[in-house]
Structure 1
Amino acid sequence: MNPISLLLLAGIVALVVFWVRSLPQKKRGGAVILLVLVIVSLAIILMAITGRLHWIGAVFAVLLPFARQIFPWILRLFPFLRFLYRRRQSQQPQAGNVSEVQTRILKMQLDHDAGVMYGQILAGPMRGRELGDLSEQQFIELLQYCRAEDGESARLLEAYLNKRFGDSWQDDDPGETTSTAPGNSHLTRQEAYQILGLEPGCSREEIISAHRRLMQKYHPDRGGSDYLAAKINQAKDCLLNP
């Protein structure tokens, strides 16, 4: 394979990875399965065009006599694979890796590990919909609704749009960007715990560590927003200075 083809392939892989990571976490598994099916289908089509499809039949024919010996071994592997899966799940951190910021119109989750945001609409004409399902025009309509009904929701949605699309969405925005300050909304201790992804009763060190980890992902200098950084700081101050 020549260098140009390698660069093109690397670019396609990078775009696919970026697309999968930009999806809501609930939809990533389905997207990966779809990609695998597309890759397998393209490989079969390519082999058919180049006249190499017969190799699949040849490999199958060679393995067929050994199927009776191989199949029992495959069955024995399933409990081991299940054990590995459960062990991996148990080793993954269960606390402090997802934060939640909720306003009157939106509920947003912040994935600490992937550094992405995903959320749901709680009120208004689009109530019940996932943000990841909206079109560009629907985002603008939702933003206009938030600006008219709740400034805090508008600031949160703008932070989401900046994180997901950069500054490109502002070209289609007919209005003015809402102030990035978090406003004067009172933050309860429960809300502060949710923003930092912590449980009540956590230590001072855990609060500081969660704050530092979130700021590394959502600070404006790292692709975040002034609004989210202010909310994270507000949550830390609420818990450390009751």
Structure 2
Amino acid sequence: MGILIALVALLLVLLGAVTIFVRADPAKMADGLKTLGPILLALAGAAIFAVGRSGLGGIMLVGAAAWYATMRMNRPAQPPPRKRSTVRTAALEMELDHKTGGLEGLVLAGRHEGKMLGAMNLAELQHLYRELSGDPESRQLLETYLDGRFPVWRKNAEPDSGEGLGVAPGAGAMTKEEAYKILGLEAGAAAADVRKAHRRLMQRLHPDIGGTSFLAARINEAKDVLLSNHN
């Protein structure tokens, strides 16, 4: 009777596994199949152990544990998530990838609202630049992006589009929350981590858009804000 109950339980488990197999997302199913083997072996071992065949059941349980441990050891390590810095103005939100130094931005307001800068051509970006004439901070951030993607864009700019090429005035004191986002750090990061992130970001900015850019100035300001209590 005990063997019959164990077999019925095992059959139900197998039916459940088949149901999951049929309904599973093919992308996730391959990874799930890798762990299904040791799970089924462990269940079978537990069932055999429960009906009094402790020797065989124990061997199967140990084998399932060893199988699973081997799979975990051979599983490739997941790459760490990419760190990004975020700078936001009234009309733009810009992200800097710490690993590649690449910039991408999202237009938050105006005719091109919702567009990614990477999907816009030079003519559209120049139109956006003119549209931002009344927002010097957003304009300066867009200049940073244009300098990296179209190094010669200034030569083709309209004569009156040179306004705002200096450092844009600040929009108020930077908060610590903003500073952490700019440096790509979690809130409460140590002073050593702040300095390390600042140094890494400035090294990324220097060969591409220069240390005098608006983004570099914001990164410097973020470091000063977070280290103000460590001096």
Structure 2 length-normalised TM = 0.63
Q: Conserved in 2, the CA contact under 8 Å of 1:182 and 1:230?
A: no
Q: Conserved in 2, the CA contact under 8 Å of 1:192 and 1:235?
A: yes
1:130 equivalent in structure 2: 116
How far residue 138 of structure 1 moved from its aligned partner, in angstroms, is 0.5
Give the 5 Å matches for 1:120-159.
120-147=106-133, 149-159=134-144
1:191 equivalent in structure 2: 178
Aligned CA distance change for structure 1 residues 216 and 145 (closer, same or farther; 3 Å): same
Q: Give the gaps of 5 or more residues in structure 2.
A: 1-29, 36-70
Corresponding residue pairs, total? 160
Letter in 1 for 2:102: V
1:234 equivalent in structure 2: 221
How far residue 201 of structure 1 moved from its aligned partner, in angstroms, is 0.8
How far residue 230 of structure 1 moved from its aligned partner, in angstroms, is 1.1
Letter in 2 for 1:158: E
Determine what percentage of the aligned residue pairs are the same residue: 37
Letter in 2 for 1:162: D
Structure with greater helix share of residues = 1
1:210 equivalent in structure 2: 197
Q: Give the gaps of 5 or more residues in structure 1.
A: 1-74
How far residue 136 of structure 1 moved from its aligned partner, in angstroms, is 1.2
1:169 equivalent in structure 2: 153
Aligned CA distance change for structure 1 residues 137 and 183 (closer, same or farther; 3 Å): same
How far residue 84 of structure 1 moved from its aligned partner, in angstroms, is 9.9
Q: Detail structure 1 runs of 4+ shifted over 3 Å in the superposition.
A: 82-88
Structure scoring higher RCO (CA < 8 A, sep ≥ 6) equals 1
> Structure 2 CA distance, aligned partners of 1:179 and 1:85?
54
Q: Conserved in 1, the CA contact under 8 Å of 2:85 and 2:182?
A: yes
Letter in 1 for 2:175: T
Letter in 1 for 2:140: R
* Deviation string, structure 1 residues 170-228 (Cα, Å, up to 9, x no partner): 12211115234242322111111111001111100110000000000013xx2223122
Aligned CA distance change for structure 1 residues 203 and 79 (closer, same or farther; 3 Å): same
- Specify the SS of the correspondent of 2:132: helix
> Structure 2 CA distance, aligned partners of 1:88 and 1:104?
40
Question: Please, what is the CA RMSD of the aligned residues?
Answer: 2.7
* Deviation string, structure 1 residues 51-94 (Cα, Å, up to 9, x no partner): xxxxxxxxxxxxxxxxxxxxxxxx89x849x98998443x4145
1:105 equivalent in structure 2: 91
Structure 1 length-normalised TM = 0.60
Aligned CA distance change for structure 1 residues 196 and 134 (closer, same or farther; 3 Å): same
> Structure 2 CA distance, aligned partners of 1:134 and 1:177?
22
> Structure 2 CA distance, aligned partners of 1:108 and 1:84?
39
> Structure 2 CA distance, aligned partners of 1:128 and 1:238?
31
Q: Conserved in 2, the CA contact under 8 Å of 1:182 and 1:231?
A: no
- Specify the SS of the correspondent of 1:163: helix
> Structure 2 CA distance, aligned partners of 1:120 and 1:155?
15
Q: 2:188 aligns with which of 182, 185, 201?
A: 201
Aligned CA distance change for structure 1 residues 100 and 79 (closer, same or farther; 3 Å): same
